[in-house]
Structure formats: structure tokens, C-alpha cells
């Protein structure tokens, strides 16, 4: 099972989605940040997030990456319960 994080941008917001087993699940939205959007715009796999090593270069991106595992667990748990 390969999980991928995808984003869309609208109304000065970035919307995060988890793509898992061919299904797209909404996770959360946050205010637009150019650095965060550029990092995620072409999608990132779960393994790429684990290998992320640019800590302290962009605090906004750091916080986003730190909260993603929690949202991913919740989305996958809800999907399995349905």
C-alpha cells in the first residue's frame, strides 16, 4: 500500500489529500504558503516525508510535515471503519 500526499490550491488555502488504494481522502486545509505549496505541488509519498531532512529551513513546512502522520492515521482509520 503506497500512500501519497497531494495538494490543491484555492482561495489562498492549500487543501491536503491522502491518496491511498486509489481513493482520495481530504485531510485538512491551511493558509497558503509558497514554500509548503512548492514542496507538495507534485505530490509526495509517505516514504519521502520520512526521509525529509531540511528541518529548520522553513518552519511552516516543518510544522505541516510534523502534523501529517496524525491526519494520515485518522483518515486511514476512518476509511477502514466505513
CA 15, chain centre distance (Å): 9
pTM greater than 0.85: yes
Contact 39, 61 (CB under 8 A): yes
- pLDDT tens digits, residue range 27-72? 999 999 999 999 999 999 999 998 888 888 999 999 999 999 999 9
pLDDT at 69: 92
Instruction: Tell me the sheet residues that pair with 16.
Output: 7, 28
Number of Cβ within 10 Å of residue 18's Cβ equals: 21
* Maximum CA extent, the chain: 39
Amino acid at each position: 500500500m503506497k500512500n501519497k500526499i497531494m495538494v490543491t490550491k484555492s482561495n489562498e488555502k492549500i487543501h491536503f489529500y491522502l491518496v491511498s488504494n486509489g481513493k482520495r481522502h481530504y485531510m485538512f486545509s491551511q493558509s497558503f504558503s509558497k514554500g509548503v505549496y512548492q514542496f507538495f505541488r507534485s505530490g509526495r509519498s509517505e516514504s519521502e516525508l520520512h526521509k525529509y531532512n531540511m528541518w529548520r529551513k522553513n518552519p511552516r513546512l516543518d510544522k505541516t510535515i510534523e502534523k501529517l502522520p496524525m491526519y494520515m492515521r485518522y483518515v486511514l482509520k476512518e476509511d477502514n471503519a466505513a
